[in-house]
């Protein structure tokens, strides 16, 4: 007896046989073999296992803070002394102050005046200093003995190298004395009070070198030249506080000596003799905003040793 199958059954059997034939022809492909990376990296490098390459380790930030006169060595993250700085300079958070006699330059026509020697104020016969006034800090100062009482070309330059403690605008001032002698009224340069006129023996030359810009209307390139710096301290300690230069419009002006200095930058400051007799007790660069916060008034005859708090005076250990 013949069994007659439904056409659909024949179709299913055909598909089954075709599928078995296809599977039998497939080849087995083993998974790819991954080779192990055995490379060894030098110190400071780490192996990237994906690429089997040595990659340089990232540099960790150095966050130490160094004292004034020192800077960070990025290679070993240690503080190292900045070379060639003038020793004896006192650094505050926002000021630099020093006595001129700490220079390594030849004093030449600058005379060191010390207590007990001829010409020292307040022991000078023409001194206008009261018992309550402060004498020279450390009982010593420099007096310029060259040129003449009116002035002259830059003579006997004294150099100082310092590092800036803070990025800000600084003003330059000096504690200055005019040792004016008594004279005969009516004679040349003599005032009605019987002393040499108050605009004599009152100035020097200054110059700053380094990375800075002007802090006011004085042209940048003017502050990089040797300029007259003057003030008043008639027979007593007062201040040099004004610079004579050209502004950005090219006009000659007298103005504050203001410098935008940068933290960590090294600067060289030069004082040269101009007017004979001009005497300097100390030099200071200070953040100009202190004039507001400390309510300071810096003008003719201002004794900066009295106007500023005592901490702003220089150290006297030489």
Residue 31 lies in a domain: no
Mean pLDDT value across residues 214-227: 96
pLDDT single digits (tens) 6-29: 565 656 666 555 555 555 455 555
68 pLDDT above the threshold of 80: no
Q: What are phi and psi of 138, to 5 degrees?
A: 75, 10
What secondary structure letter does DSSP report for 312? G
Looking at the domain assignment, is residue 153 inside a domain? yes
Q: Which position has the token pair 């916060």? A: 293
SS3 content of the chain, % helix, strand, coil (to 5): 15, 35, 50
Give Cα separations from 218 to 151, 214, 245, 264 (angstroms): 23, 6, 7, 24
Residue with tokens 């190298």: 161
What DSSP string runs through 10-25? HHHHHHHHHHHHHHHH
Q: What is d(CA 317, CA 176) in angstroms, rounded to the nearest whole number?
A: 20
What pLDDT is recorded for position 18?
Answer: 54
Q: How far is CA 115 from the centre of its chain?
A: 33
Residues 6+ apart with CB under 8 A from 91: 68, 69, 162, 163, 165
Kindly state whether residue 114 falls inside one of the protein's structural domains.
yes
- The residue range of the domain holding 190 is 84-312
In the chain, % of residues over pLDDT 90: 62
Comparing 31 with 224, which gets the higher pLDDT?
224
- Across the chain, mean pLDDT equals 88
| Within a domain: 116 | yes
In-domain check, residue 232: yes
Domain holding 129: CATH number? 2.60.120.260
Q: What is the pLDDT of residue 229?
A: 98
Q: Is residue 143 part of a domain?
A: yes
Contact 165, 71 (CB under 8 A): no
Tens of pLDDT, residue by residue over 274-287, are 999 999 999 999 99
Count the alpha carbons within 13 Å of 99 in the hemisphere toward its beta carbon.
Answer: 22
On the question of pLDDT at 93 being above 90, the answer is yes
CA pair distance 173, 165, nearest whole angstrom = 17
- Residue 42 resides in a domain: no
Burial 180-214 (b: 16+ CB within 10 A, else e): bbebeeeeeebeeeebbbbbbbbbbbbbbebebeb
Reported confidence tier of residue 318, pLDDT bands at 50, 70, 90:
very low
Q: Are 234 and 198 in contact (CB under 8 A)?
A: yes
Other CB atoms within 10 Å distance of the CB of residue 296: 18
pLDDT in tens, 97-133: 999 999 999 999 999 999 999 889 888 778 887 777 8
The pLDDT-based confidence of 206 (bands split at 50, 70, 90) is: very high
In a domain, 269, yes or no: yes
Q: 50 versus 60: which is more confidently predicted? A: 50
Counted domains in the chain:
1
Nearest to 154 by CA among 201, 206, 224, 118: 206
């Amino acid at each position: 007896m013949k069994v007659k199958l439904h056409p659909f059954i024949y179709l299913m059997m055909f598909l089954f046989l075709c599928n078995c034939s296809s599977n039998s022809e497939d080849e087995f492909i083993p998974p790819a073999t991954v080779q192990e990376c055995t490379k060894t990296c030098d110190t400071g490098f780490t192996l990237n296992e994906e690429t089997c390459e040595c990659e340089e380790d990232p540099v960790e930030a150095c966050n130490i803070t160094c004292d004034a006169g020192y800077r960070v060595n990025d290679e070993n993250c240690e503080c190292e002394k900045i070379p060639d700085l003038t020793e004896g300079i006192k650094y505050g958070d926002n000021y630099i102050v020093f006595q001129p006699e700490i220079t390594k330059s030849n004093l030449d026509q600058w005379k060191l005046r010390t207590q007990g020697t001829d010409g020292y104020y307040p022991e000078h016969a023409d001194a206008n200093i009261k018992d309550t006034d402060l004498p020279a800090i450390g009982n010593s100062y420099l007096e310029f003995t060259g040129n003449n009482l009116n002035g002259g070309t830059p003579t006997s330059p004294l150099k100082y190298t310092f590092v800036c403690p803070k990025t800000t605008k600084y003003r330059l001032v000096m504690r200055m004395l005019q040792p004016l002698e008594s004279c005969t009224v009516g004679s040349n340069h003599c005032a009605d009070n019987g002393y040499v006129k108050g605009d004599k023996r009152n100035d020097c030359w200054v110059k700053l070198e380094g990375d800075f810009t002007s802090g006011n209307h004085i042209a940048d390139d003017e502050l990089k030249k040797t300029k007259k710096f003057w003030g008043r301290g008639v027979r007593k300690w007062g201040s040099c506080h004004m610079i004579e230069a050209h502004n950005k419009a090219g006009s000659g002006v007298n103005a504050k000596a203001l410098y935008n200095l940068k933290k960590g930058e090294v600067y060289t400051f030069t004082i040269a003799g101009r007017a004979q007799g001009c005497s300097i007790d100390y030099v200071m660069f200070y953040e100009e905003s202190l004039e507001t916060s400390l309510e300071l008034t810096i003008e003719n005859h201002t004794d900066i040793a009295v106007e500023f708090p005592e901490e702003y005076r220089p150290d006297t250990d030489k």
